[in-house]
A and B are shown apart, each in its own frame.
Chain A
Amino acid sequence: MQDILNIYLSSEESGGLFDFDATLPLMASQFLLIMLILDITFYKPINKVLKDRENYILKTLESATQISEKTKETLARYEEVILKSKKESQQLIDSIKTKTEHDIVNELIQTQNSTREFISKSIKELYRKKEQTLKVLEEDTENLSDKIYLKLINPKQ
């Protein structure tokens, strides 16, 4: 049966737990070599990808912010335009309203005036006619009375 636990701390010829030899520099140099290779094949490309992605995200974020700002601006402009046109249309409506009212009032006044004129004219006419008629009547009456007088004083005639 063989020994189960063979622990050699150090021995006369060679071997042992603390046996330093050319493995040490070899291991160090192959470690440096693998470090260089990993730097080229692993760390650098991955770092580049990570950085590129970060830049890409930053850029996209920036452009998104710009677009949203632009949208806000456009929205504000449109709102302004809408407000302006609303105002204008309101003004137009108001002016038309006042104009129409004005026209109506004017027409009313005109009509009133013309009516009043007509009435006064008619009244005047009436008075004139009345006077005329009265005059005619008076003349007639005078004529008649003259005739009656003549008849009375000179019945033979």
Chain B
Amino acid sequence: MISNNLEICSIDIGVHWYWNFLGLKIHGQVLLVSWVAIIILLLLAILGTFNMQKEPRGFQNFLEYVFEFLQDISKNQIEEKYYKSWVPFISTLFLFIFVSNWLGALVPWKLIKIPEGELAAPTNDINTTVALAMLTSVSYFYAGLSKKGLRYFLKYISPTPILLPINILEDFTKPLSLSFRLFGNIVADELVVAVFNLLFPLFLPLPVMVLGLFASSIQALIFATLSASYIGESLADHH
């Protein structure tokens, strides 16, 4: 009984179920849950849009609400003229991170046994968060370069060339902070829940789980908002 309990409570961090893909190592448990998240997103999109009406009903209504919320994230950070083309990226960031986090928090993955490691939110793997953060970096570079051309690099010596090292450093700290914030929050939440489960596996973890649910949605919002803000910064005119 106790050993069974402990088995349920135990947590493996840093243990991966390796797959071989064209001779490259990949983390199977991360990809599996990310596929679940993707399928959920696709189902939602298909359910909400297959029978669209002028008067929204059911899933269409829900999707319209979600879309307006997502659009507002981009609208608030990026100039009116440019935000439209960035809505898909920012929105998908939010949706993917949000669904991943909640999948990790709500689904008892522990009940599904895999050969190595354990199923969890894809965002508790550093590869996922760094991938998303790097996409954000590429995006804001692309946004700045496509709008201003080479003049984009003038931002490194503005307002004064003295700030050049700091400005260059910023390009590294941005993705670093983005990825580690998300990664750290999700891992820490799972750790805390696991430790509380260990101490008293009945009601004690519940508040922390609720907090984790809240924190993971906030993390999704923060990631999307910061990405939008970086892109908006690149698109803004310097004076």
Contacts and interface: CB of A to CB of B under 8 A. Distances in A.
A15 B21 contact: no
23 contacts: A4-B9, A4-B198, A11-B14, A14-B18, A19-B14, A19-B16, A20-B127, A22-B21, A23-B27, A23-B30, A23-B128, A24-B134, A26-B21, A26-B26, A31-B96, A32-B135, A34-B92, A34-B96, A38-B45, A41-B49, A42-B49, A42-B63, A47-B67
A27 B128 CA distance: 6
A25 interface: yes
A46 B48 contact: yes
Interface residues of A, number: 46
B131 A45 contact: no
A39 interface: yes
Interface stretch (B34-42, B105-113, B143-151, B206-214): B34-42
A157 interface: no
A4 B10 contact: yes
A153 B228 CA distance: 168
B27 A9 contact: no
Q: Please classify how large the interface on chain B is, using the bins under 10, 10 to 19, 20 to 34, 35 or more.
A: 35 or more
Interface string B194-225: 11001000000000000000000000000000
A76 B227 CA distance: 59
Interface of B: 3, 6-7, 9-16, 18, 21, 24-27, 30-31, 34, 38, 41-42, 44-46, 48-49, 52, 54, 56, 60, 63-64, 67-68, 71, 87-89, 91-92, 95-96, 122, 125-128, 130-132, 134-135, 187, 191, 194-195, 198
Contacts of B38: 30, 34
A46 B49 contact: yes
Contacts of A15: 14-16
A115 to B, nearest CB: 90
Interface of A: 1-11, 14-28, 30-32, 34-39, 41-43, 45-47, 49-50, 52-53, 56
A3 B30 CA distance: 22
A42 B15 contact: no
Given A39-B88, A43-B88, A21 B13 contact: no
Contacts of A3: 10
B79 to A, nearest CB: 18
Contacts of B42: 34, 37-38, 41
